Homo-oligomer: A and B are copies of this chain.
Amino acid sequence: MNKTIQREAILNELRSVTSHHTADELYAALRPRMPLLSLGTVYRNLEQMSQAGLILKLETAGRQKRFDGNLKPHNHLRCRRCGAVSDVSDVGLDSAVERLGEAAARLGADGFVLELNGLCEKCRLEEDGKK
């Protein structure tokens, strides 16, 4: 895998945000700096880097795939209102997930995909505001 300006830019962008971009969000974020960047290049590199284990591909509910530059084990919440995916950190959840991993391994599974559903911080505040 050669080093290219485009690939570096995509990886840096993904690592510098805690949100979990879709391919077209990344494209939109990078275009001002790289006006010739092509959407196909973004897709190609995201796929490549997730194969190589440099980033995570989140392909759970919702139409578009999202990508995560944070490789440390952590959990995700998808907002049922705005669709954003945010990180969840909670000790109780982490230990439940660990147990789940053990149960899955015992069954011979390679792993699992998990995503919490609910309202993100932002939408929770907005819904409360309405009442």
Which A residues are closer than 8 A to B by beta carbons? Answer: 59-62, 77, 80, 88, 90, 92-93, 95-97, 99-100, 102-104, 106-119, 124
CB pair A92 B96 closer than 8 Å: no
Residues in B neighbouring A103, C-beta threshold 8 A: 90, 92-93, 95-96
Q: Is the interface of A mostly helix, strand, loop or mixed?
A: mixed
User: Please, which residue of chain B has its CB at the minimum distance from the CB of A113?
Assistant: B115
CB pair B110 A118 closer than 8 Å: yes
Q: Looking at the complex, which one of B102, B104, B112, B117 makes contact with A110 (CB distance below 8 Å)?
A: B117
User: Please, which residue of chain B has its CB at the minimum distance from the CB of A77?
Assistant: B109
Q: A108–B109 Cα gap in the complex (Å)? A: 29
Residues in B neighbouring A107, C-beta threshold 8 A: 88, 90, 92-93, 116, 118
Count of identical protomers in the assembly: 2
CB pair B114 A112 closer than 8 Å: yes
With A59-B61, A100-B97 as known contacts, state yes or no: A113 contacts B110, CB within 8 Å.
no
Q: How far is the CB of A84 from chain B (nearest CB, A)?
A: 14
Q: Looking at the complex, which one of B62, B77, B93, B112 makes contact with A117 (CB distance below 8 Å)?
A: B112
Q: A42–B80 Cα gap in the complex (Å)? A: 25
Residues in B neighbouring A117, C-beta threshold 8 A: 109-113
With A96-B103, A99-B96, A103-B96 as known contacts, state yes or no: A110 contacts B61, CB within 8 Å.
no
